[in-house]
Amino acid sequence: MATNFTREEAKMMDQQDILRSFRNEFYLKNDGVYMDGNSLGLLSKRAEETTHELLNSWKQYAIDGWTEGEQPWYYLSEKLGESMTELVGGKKEEVIATGSTTVNLHHLVSTFYKPEGKRTKILADSLNFPSDIYALKAQLALKGYDDTHLIQVPSTNGHVLDEEDIINAMTDEVALIVLPGVLYRSGQILDMEKLTKAAHERGIQIGFDLCHSIGSVPHQLHDWGTDFAFWCTYKHLNGGPGSVGGLFVHEKHAGITPGLAGWFSSRKDKQFDMEHSLTPAEDAGAFQIGTPHVLSAAPLIGALELFNEAGIDRVREKSLKLTNYMMELIKHELDEFDLKICNPVDPKQRGGHVYLEHPEAARICKALKMKKVIPDFRTPSGIRLAPVALYNTFEDVYECVHILKEIMREELYKQFENKREIVS
């Protein structure tokens, strides 16, 4: 990788980057460095274009937009689901664009969590994003169980999980397992194939939250036999704030009755029969609830076009190079400043961002923003930096690390309070 850590070397790596043309597809601030694409991806020109197209279809067709135009709304969720199949390693019948992360989690758990006998517990982890834990506790309460029925596998160091600890927690009291594909804080990739195999050997169904992995790492959910998965589309997929989420249900569960049935759970040819007995779709479409959020889905049409052109394997290859370069630079330039790299170094376990810890993290992030570098603070002492393959460059990484070095050397962070903003 890097040898002399110069800006010229970074520029040379950018010239050799086979994905470099995709940067031109995005709206970038020329005077800043965006390193927060694992929280909210940037707007692409393609996503802007498809948003205008959907607005115009409303303008031109009114209610006939459900079946007319280039993007008929009635089939939009299925079309977008098919566009995400390569990203998750699923079949088109297994993937649907619908809902949001937490709504989809509620729907899937309400379907797959069936406590019986002593199998009443849900297995999760101690490092998951809070929203997932809130939803799991709420689902337990709906079934009449308290929080003691939620098992959260602990971390030995507060950053990563040991898959063997998770497997050892798969007891005969566990009815369902829900885990992240990539840990939101440290960026650790869990071995989803290994965990799925272990769960099924013990007669337990398992699902994964892919919010921090989809668009960043490849998946093979169908081949792994994973029961279900769910995700947002506004991070690495660049679908825009509040863009419609997605979910996967393995074809072996085709025909299962959805736990939260609704209007768009219907089989398409039966939906307008207006019967009071649901005929659910025989694929992942059954896990829709209400009317598709057409205008929230519109940017995703264009955003996914870029991924299908770039290819997730090439995205992953560049992502690993970017994060590796960033870690090398940090070690070379910032060794004296007590910034600890807490994400996995092993590329098989490393997701799409670098995670640093420092006691002054909140004020360091504020200083970075003052210098027009956009990071992501995670309480109490975490700094996430995400060089995104489709629009960040090696020179961006070089600039980010050297601005961070200036902040630490000059102690520029001391002018700020060491507390988070309202949104961090």
Q: Does 101 appear as a known binding residue?
A: yes
Q: How many CB atoms lie within 10 A of CB 354?
A: 28
Is residue 394 within a helix (H) or strand (E), and if so which, with residue range?
helix 394-410
Q: In terms of Cα–Cα distance, which of 259, 241, 218, 243 is closest to 105? A: 259
Q: Which residues pair with 384 in a beta bridge?
A: 355, 376
Q: Can you point out the beta strands (E) in 147-293?
A: 150-153, 174-180, 205-209, 228-231, 246-249
Distance from C-alpha of 173 to C-alpha of 397, rounded to nearest angstrom: 47
Distance from C-alpha of 330 to C-alpha of 342, rounded to nearest angstrom: 12
Q: Does 98 appear as a known binding residue?
A: no
Question: Is the peptide bond preceding residue 380 cis, with omega within 30 degrees of 0?
Answer: yes
Q: Does 209 appear as a known binding residue?
A: yes
Q: In terms of Cα–Cα distance, which of 190, 192, 257 is closest to 225? A: 192
Torsion of CA 176, 178, 179, 184, to 10 degrees: -160
Which tokens sit at 415? 């002018």
Q: In terms of Cα–Cα distance, which of 239, 268, 262, 221 is closest to 95? A: 221
Q: In terms of Cα–Cα distance, which of 326, 232, 312 is closest to 41? A: 232
Q: Does 344 appear as a known binding residue?
A: no
Location of structure tokens 């600039």: 399
Q: Does 120 appear as a known binding residue?
A: no
Q: Does 191 appear as a known binding residue?
A: no
- Residue 373 contacts by C-beta under 8 Å, 6 or more apart in sequence? 32, 33, 35, 399, 400, 403, 404
Q: Does 132 appear as a known binding residue?
A: yes
Q: Does 291 appear as a known binding residue?
A: yes
Q: Does 287 appear as a known binding residue?
A: no
Is residue 116 within a helix (H) or strand (E), and if so which, with residue range?
none
Sign of the Cα pseudo-torsion (233, 239, 242, 243, in order): negative
Q: Does 376 appear as a known binding residue?
A: no
Q: Does 148 appear as a known binding residue?
A: no
Is residue 300 within a helix (H) or strand (E), and if so which, with residue range?
helix 294-310
For residue 179, give the 3-state DSSP assignment.
strand
154 with 101: CB under 8 angstroms? no
The binding site comprises: 101-102, 129-132, 209, 212, 234, 263, 291
The binding site for pyridoxal 5'-phosphate comprises: 101-102, 129-132, 209, 212, 234, 263, 291
